[in-house]
Amino acid sequence: MTTWPTLVEMQRGLTLMRQGVPYFAWQDADNSYRPSYRLPELARHEKAIFNGNRACGFYSIRSDNLTRWGAIDLDNHDGQHEWLDTALTAFNGIASMVPEAWLVESSPGAYHIIGFDNELKPAAAIREMLRPFAPKGVEVFPKQDHLDATDPKAKGNLLRFPGRHQLKGTWARILDHRGRIETVEVTAPERKPIFSQPDEQTRYLALYNNVTRGLVLTGSGQRYRAMQRIVGRLKGRTLDEDIAALIHDRFYNAFRQHIGTPIAESRRQFLAFFRKAAPCIVVLPDYEPTDHQQRIILQMHGVPGVRRDRLQTTVRLFLSAHRHADLQRCECFLSLRTLADRLQVGITAASKYRDACYRIGLIEMLQRGSQATGLASTYSLNKEWLR
């Protein structure tokens, strides 16, 4: 059994779903996915995908926040859903709005409805088009309007390509296929370097995404608390009232239907919170570690998944932050943004190095002070760090 009528049709499907995204992912036998960007490797295994020996998935948003396709994922992991009527209704609606659409039974009782456009469009526009056809709680791809602008490796979420499921052993079935667009090879966005200083607009979007992450208004009476939380998250990130006002207005407009307070009054309250919170930006001076600390840093064992030299730099930064806090008689704090800038990496990578410092016990000990019990012995570190 195969999903595709011919290998040529499957190759056409691969081209459509790639749409210029530099990453794809292989599905392993345990249903996990391994991201890859080696397109020659994908081409070498086309027959294996067609025959069901390999399976892959594709990401539905590019690094420039554009896409050529979107999808609704009607899962049936618990075996309790009857999605066929819902899938047919969604497919008929989407097929009337896009030049090509697929209705795929991805596994028994589960369906993917995929719509393709002739040209690249903003991910937000594709999501807005598909959302009315998706029942509450159902995934819509792309799952994001914007990728994290501070992370050059951000990929969004992937959808499995129609074929054989490596864990379940079931084959996807294409139940209906309407329209046919030209399979022009879409150019991928220019790959970013491992680290690049973002421009002003990119920094603003990244800041907005960070301070509003997870905040959703679903009814009246929720604005006041949400705005206070946004102000709290802005502390230590910006001193600019104009930027704060822009963030307020963007969030307000995103949930305008659930807000009764006029925007001018809401903005006035928001900026009052902002001034009262007294946001601050602390420039961390460089302090040389003591000879004793330097010896321990040089003798540190590696931590799996992070570079040893960058971990050593991270440790030095935390020690500097602790010393600065002692001198200023304030709480020890080292932001991910500062850490990312010093390491010349993105925010996601910086969080890995911070987490590594938790794993070796450094941060916990700094929080406890010089009477701490010490760091994990497996890394040959002890309570004399602060000497």
Each residue's pLDDT, cut to its tens digit, for the chain (387 residues) gives: 689 999 999 999 999 998 888 889 999 888 888 888 888 888 899 999 999 999 999 999 988 889 999 999 998 766 677 889 999 999 999 999 999 999 999 988 899 999 999 888 899 899 999 999 999 889 999 999 888 766 777 888 899 999 999 888 999 999 999 999 987 777 767 655 444 555 677 778 878 888 888 888 988 889 999 999 999 888 767 878 999 999 999 999 989 999 999 999 999 999 998 988 765 555 677 788 888 888 878 877 778 878 888 888 888 888 888 787 778 776 666 777 788 888 888 777 888 888 888 777 765 555 554 333 333 333 333 333 334
> Which CATH class name applies to 7-179?
alpha beta
Q: How many CB atoms lie within 10 A of CB 95?
A: 19
pLDDT at 25: 93
For tokens 């998935």, name the residue: 57
My answer on whether omega of the bond before 142 falls inside 30° of 0, hence cis, is yes
> What distances in angstroms separate CA 2 from CA 17, 113, 144, 363, one per listed residue?
19, 19, 32, 53
In angstroms, the CA 158 to CA 144 distance is 11
Phi/psi for 194 (5° steps) reads -55, -35
Our CA angle for 269, 273, 274, nearest 5°, is 115
pLDDT at 375: 35
pLDDT at 330: 63
In angstroms, the CA 193 to CA 215 distance is 31
In angstroms, the CA 62 to CA 323 distance is 42
- At position 164, the amino acid (one-letter code) is R
pLDDT at 53: 93
pLDDT at 372: 35
**256-264 — which CB contacts under 8 Å span 24+ positions?**
258/217, 258/218, 258/219, 258/220, 258/222, 258/223, 259/217, 259/220, 259/223, 260/220, 261/223
